[in-house]
Amino acid sequence: MAHALIVDDDGDSVESLQALITAEHFTVSVAHNLRDARRHIALQQPDLILLDLELPDGNGMDLFTDPQLVANSEVVLITGHASLETSIQALRLGAADYLVKPINLRHLQGVLSRVTRPAVLKAEVADLHAHLAEDGNFGHLWGRAPAMLPVYEQISRVAGTGVSVFILGESGTGKELVAQTVHDLSRRRKKPFLAVNCGAISPNLIESEIFGHEKGAFTGADHQHQGFFERASGGTLFLDELTEMPLELQVKLLRVLETGRYMRVGSTQTMEADVRVIAASNRPLIQAVEAGKLREDLLYRLNVFPIELPPLRDRLSDVPLLARHFLSAIGAKEGQHKQFTGAAMERLCRYRWPGNVRELRNAVQRAYVMASGELITDQWLPAPDLPAAPGGVAPQPGVLLVQEPPPQGILGALGAVPLEGEGTAGAGAPLSTGLASPGYAAAAAPGPLVAASGMVAGDGMTAGMAPGVTPGMAAAGAGAGNGREQGALLVPIGCSMAEIERRFILATLAHYKQHKERTAAVLGISLKTLYNRLKEYAATESDWPEGRP
C-alpha cells in the first residue's frame, strides 16, 4: 500500500486531506512543520509528499535544499496563495504538481492516481538511453547525431515534472513525437495524449472544439460536445501551431492555464482542467509576438521549458538511420522488405532535406513504391545538385533559386541554404551560395521581387530583372530539365522571414493558377493554414503576382 506524508500546519486542512487520501487506499502520516517532516521522511520514505508552502519554521520549498531527502518521493505542493512565479519555481525544483486550497477532490484523485516514485521514472529514462546506444532510438525519436543528444537530455529532465513545455522547430522535424515521448515518460502516461493542430480548425469552431459546448449553444449544436480539455482529462494536451490560434481564444486559454478552470460554450458551470499542456510552433516566438500572432503573456506562461529541435540538415549523420527505419516500417506494412543500394544511400546523405524528417520519410516511401525489385536505386531519390539553366547558364553567386515544385515546408526551405558573408551580391562582393539541390529557396541581390516562368517582376523592371541580376540569373530555372515548366523566385537579401513566406505563397499560388488544394500540397501545409495566410495578407491587386483572376 502506498504511503503519503502531509506537511501542513492547518488542522482543518490536514483532517480533510487525511480522510480523502485514506479513502484512496493510502496510509497517511502528518507533520506540522519542516523539522517533523524531515524526521518522518527519515523513518519511512513516503511515496507522496503533500507539502504546504507556508510553515511555522520556513517555506515548504526549503525541503528541496536537501535533494536526497525527497529524491525517492513525489512532491505535490498545496497552498492557498498560488502564484505563477511560485508554481514555476516549485516545478523547476522537482515538484510533480501543485494543489490550490480549498482542495478540489477530482484534482486530488487525479494526483493520487498518478503517483510514481522518481526512481521508477529514472529507471525508464536509463532504459531509453541504453536503447539509444544500441539502435539509435529514444522513445518515439530516432537519431544519434550530437545535435539530438541535448533534446533527449531535456526530455529526460522535464518528463517527470508538471512543467509546461514549448517545442520549437521547423515543419517536419518531429515536434509531435517529442510531445508524445514526454507524455510516455510522465506520470500521466495512463491517460490520453491528444494532439491538436490549431491551424487546421476553423476559427469559428475552435473555441467549441477546445472547451466543448452545450446542446443548443448555437445553431447546429444538437448535442452536448466534449472539448479537447475534457477529452484529455488527466493526460496531456498537445497544441501544435499555437500561433495559428485566434488572439481572442489565446486570452481564454491563458485564463484556463492560470485558474485551472473553464466553461463549455453555452454553459454557466465551470469545470476543472486537469491536463498538462505542451505547445509547439514552427515560427520564432519573439517574431510571432511582434507580428501579433501570439500573446506575450501566453508565451511566458507556456514557455517555461523550451525544447528546440534541430533541422535534419544539421544532423545529416542520422539520415541513414532514419531512412532504414522508415524503409523497415514500410516493408513490414506492405509485406515486402527492400534495401538501399550504396549509391542510393549516398544520394540521401548528400541532399539537405528542406522538408526535414517528413520529407525524408515521403522520399523513402516514394522510392519504395517505384523500385521494381528488392533493391532501391538512386533513380527516384531527390537529386543533390541543382541543374543548370537552359543554354548552360549556371546560377550566379549570391542567388538562391526555388524551382518548381517547391519543397514541403516554407520556413524549413528558407533556412536550408546558408549564405556566407555579409553585404550585397554584386560586382566585387559575391556571396557564396552553398547550393545543394533543387527545391531550395530563395534569396538574391538587393532589388525588387523578380520572377520567371509567368511570375511578374516588380517596380517596372524590364525583362523581370533586378539590379545586379544578369539575364542568365533571370532565366535560370525557366524550363530547366525533364521538359517540365520550371519557376524561380528571387527575393532581396535582408527580407524578413514573414515577407519571404508571403511572396513564396503568393507566387506558388499564381504558378498553380489559384488552385489552392495543389498549392497547399506542394508547400506541405494544410489547406486551412493556406486560407489563414491568404486572409492574413488581405492582398491588394498590386500585392499579388501576375495570374490572379
Window from 39-48, 92-101, 230-239, 277-286 with minimum mean pLDDT: 92-101
Could you read off the pLDDT of 115-138 as tens digits, one per residue? 887 778 888 888 999 889 889 999
Whole-number pLDDT of residue 84:
59
Whole-number pLDDT of residue 88:
65
Whole-number pLDDT of residue 336:
92
Task: Find how far residue 542's CA is from the centre of its chain.
Answer: 35
Within 13 Å and on the Cβ side, how many CA atoms surround 445?
A: 20
Whole-number pLDDT of residue 114:
81
> 461 pLDDT exceeds 50?
no
Segment (H or E) for 417:
none
Whole-number pLDDT of residue 400:
39
> 438 pLDDT exceeds 50?
no
CATH architecture under which domain 3-115 falls:
3-Layer(aba) Sandwich (3.40)
Whole-number pLDDT of residue 367:
94
Whole-number pLDDT of residue 83:
61
DSSP tag of 103: P
Q: pLDDT band at residue 230, thresholds of 50, 70 and 90? A: very high
Window from 75-84, 163-172, 331-340 with minimum mean pLDDT: 75-84
Question: In angstroms, rounded to a whole number, what is the distance separating the alpha carbons of residues 69 and 55?
Answer: 18
Q: Phi and psi for 519 in degrees, rounded to 5?
A: -60, -45
Mean pLDDT calculated for residue range 520-547: 69
353: its cell numbers: 532535406
Question: In angstroms, rounded to a whole number, what is the distance separating the alpha carbons of residues 35 and 57?
Answer: 8
- CA dihedral of 123, 125, 130, 134, whole degrees rounded to 10: 150
Whole-number pLDDT of residue 95:
78
More confident residue, 204 or 297: 297
Q: pLDDT band at residue 473, thresholds of 50, 70 and 90? A: very low
More confident residue, 424 or 214: 214
Could you read off the pLDDT of 138-187 as tens digits, one per residue? 999 999 999 999 999 999 989 888 888 999 999 999 999 999 999 999 98
Q: Phi and psi for 166 in degrees, rounded to 5?
A: -120, 120
Q: pLDDT band at residue 429, thresholds of 50, 70 and 90? A: very low
The answer to whether the pTM exceeds 0.85 is no
Q: pLDDT band at residue 419, thresholds of 50, 70 and 90? A: very low
Whole-number pLDDT of residue 487:
62
CATH homologous superfamily, domain 120-308: P-loop containing nucleotide triphosphate hydrolases (3.40.50.300)
Mean pLDDT of the chain: 77
> 306 pLDDT exceeds 90?
yes
Please state the domain extents for the chain: 3-115, 120-308, 314-376, 390-419+432-543
Window from 54-63, 171-180, 273-282 with minimum mean pLDDT: 54-63
Peptide bond into 102 cis (omega under 30): yes
Whole-number pLDDT of residue 178:
97
Whole-number pLDDT of residue 422:
35
Whole-number pLDDT of residue 238:
97
Whole-number pLDDT of residue 85:
67
| b/e 480-493 (16+ beta carbons within 10 angstroms → b) | beeeeebbbbbbbb
Mean pLDDT calculated for residue range 513-528: 82
CB 487 within 8 A of CB 453: yes
- CA dihedral of 281, 287, 288, 289, whole degrees rounded to 10: 130
More confident residue, 519 or 237: 237
Q: Phi and psi for 7 in degrees, rounded to 5?
A: -115, 100
Mean pLDDT calculated for residue range 242-260: 91
> 488 pLDDT exceeds 60?
yes
More confident residue, 166 or 220: 166
Question: In angstroms, rounded to a whole number, what is the distance separating the alpha carbons of residues 228 and 230?
Answer: 5
Same fold, 3-115 and 120-308: yes
Question: In angstroms, rounded to a whole number, what is the distance separating the alpha carbons of residues 356 and 335?
Answer: 27
Whole-number pLDDT of residue 483:
36
Mean pLDDT calculated for residue range 82-109: 72
Residue 83: CB atoms within 10 Å: 10
| DSSP characters over 217-258 | SSTT--S-B--HHHHTTTSEEEEETGGGS-HHHHHHHHHHHH
Range from 235-244, 252-261, 506-515 that averages highest in pLDDT? 235-244
Question: In angstroms, rounded to a whole number, what is the distance separating the alpha carbons of residues 120 and 128?
Answer: 13
Whole-number pLDDT of residue 62:
83
Whole-number pLDDT of residue 165:
93
Question: In angstroms, rounded to a whole number, what is the distance separating the alpha carbons of residues 77 and 75?
Answer: 7
More confident residue, 492 or 314: 314
Nearest in space to 526 (alpha carbons), one of 196, 298, 82, 103? 196
Window from 259-268, 372-381, 452-461, 505-514 with minimum mean pLDDT: 452-461
Kind of pairing, strands 261-263 and 270-272?
antiparallel
> 17 pLDDT exceeds 50?
yes
> 420 pLDDT exceeds 80?
no
Q: pLDDT band at residue 82, thresholds of 50, 70 and 90? A: low
**Alpha helix (H) residue ranges in 459-496:** 471-475
Whole-number pLDDT of residue 87:
65
Residue 526: CB atoms within 10 Å: 17
DSSP tag of 316: G
* Fold classification of 314-376 (topology level): Helicase, Ruva Protein; domain 3 (1.10.8)
Whole-number pLDDT of residue 511:
86
Report the percentage of the chain scoring pLDDT > 70.
Answer: 77
